[in-house]
Amino acid sequence: MSWLSLSPVEFQALTLSLWVAGVSVLVSLPVATAVAYVLARCQFWGHSLLNALVHLPLVLPPVVTGYLLLLAFGRHGVFGPVLEIFGLQLAFTSAGAALAAAVMAFPLIVRAIRLSIESLDPKLEEAARTLGASPVKLFVFVILPLIFPGILAGAVVGFAKALGEFGATITFVSNIPGETQTIASAIYALLQVPGQEVAVARMIGFSILLSFGALLLSEILARRMVRR
């Protein structure tokens, strides 16, 4: 096997990681945008509490986050029986891996979008309201296009974070080849086997390339949006 040739297990881990990261970002973006707008523009009792709750996964050990997800969405967790009624299972599945990755990436996505919203001139929103724009039209036709670079940056940073997520994922969905084994957990598994240094280096190389490529793409697209 050549240095760049992936084994079937490694290829599965790579494709699953891309799927998990993509799904986690797609699920997170609408909620993250709404939460970012609320945190940036609304003042209410509990604002600081919501802000702390949103950023909690950044400061908690990832294993703790994964364990809390297991308590909430595991088969015998708080919402486990409800999920079973609809024939759904999150623990120890690829869908659960996407959920864990989404939870860990969510604070970074919110932060990027919130900074973009806070950088807007409030007078633009006031002018739109004066001209009769409803809250929905104001957000869709004025705010959303202006904060798109921030949304894009949040999506890419969240994708990179989800791509490398390990602690919460392995605690919530374990490390099942072909089902929940992502790049990070595959590297961990390979490190436990003597003589797998080349395979480890190969997986690390692909991980670096994917993350670097995502960040580079974000920078290029953001600059194009700014020019427009």
Number of residues in the chain: 228
Please tell me the distance from the alpha carbon of residue 88 to that of residue 81, in angstroms, as a whole number: 9
* Residue 114, CA atoms < 13 Å, CB-side half-sphere: 18
The answer to whether 128 touches 138, Cβ cutoff 8 Å, is yes
Sequence-distant contacts of 192-201: CB under 8 A, at least 24 apart: 198/3, 199/7, 199/10, 201/3
CB contact set of 67 (below 8 Å; sequence gap of 6+):
171, 172
| Degrees to nearest 5, angle at CA 88 with 84 and 89 | 95
- pLDDT at res. 1: 45
**Among all chains, which residue has been given the structure tokens 């006031």?**
126
Predicted TM-score (pTM) of the model is 0.89
In the DSSP assignment, the letter for residue 60 is: S
3-state SS record for 62-120: HHHHHHHHHHHHCCCCCCHHHHHHCCCCCCCCHHHHHHHHHHHHHHHHHHHHHHHHHCC
**Among all chains, which residue has been given the structure tokens 């997520």?**
165
String of b and e for 33-68 (b: at least 16 CB within 10 Å)?
bebbbbbbeeeeeeeeeebeebeebeebebeebbbb
Give, in order, the Cα–Cα distances in Å from 137 to each of 41, 110, 127, 141, 143: 16, 22, 13, 6, 9
In the DSSP assignment, the letter for residue 165 is: -
- pLDDT at res. 225: 59
**Among all chains, which residue has been given the structure tokens 């960040």?**
215
- pLDDT at res. 102: 96
Please tell me the distance from the alpha carbon of residue 52 to that of residue 66, in angstroms, as a whole number: 18
Q: Which CATH number fits domain 8-122+129-227: 1.10.3720.10, 3.20.190.10, 3.90.440.10, 3.40.50.360?
A: 1.10.3720.10
Show the tokens assigned to 57: 């996964």
How confident is the chain (228 residues) per 10-residue block, as mean pLDDT? 67 92 94 94 90 94 94 89 87 93 95 89 83 83 86 89 91 90 90 86 87 78 63
Show the tokens assigned to 169: 């994922």
